[in-house]
A = this chain, B = another copy of it.
Amino acid sequence: MQNRIKELRQKHNFTQDELADRLEVSRQTIISLEKERYNPSIVLAYNIAKLFDMKIEDIFIFEEGEQNG
């Protein structure tokens, strides 16, 4: 799965630290998501989409036949 977090964060002029604060997660989590080391939980994905006023599907790009977990 790909995501547009870094792009959207920069468009909104947030630092990783600011974004982490707004989403109530650690800065490490932001780094890990931007580097696509793992996927966010559905709740975090929802909070990100809400913050940027977008749909989950417009921030996270799912590939065909992607495996769960």
Contacts and interface: CB of A to CB of B under 8 A. Distances in A.
Interface of A: 1, 23-25, 39-47, 55-57, 60, 62, 66-69
B42 A60 contact: yes
Determine how many copies of this chain the complex contains: 2
A21 B66 CA distance: 15
A47 B28 CA distance: 27
Given A41-B41, A56-B57, A46 B67 contact: no
B24 A43 contact: no
Given A24-B67, A39-B41, 15 more contacts: A1-B42, A23-B68, A24-B68, A25-B68, A39-B42, A40-B68, A42-B45, A43-B69, A44-B69, A46-B66, A47-B66, A55-B55, A55-B56, A55-B57, A56-B57
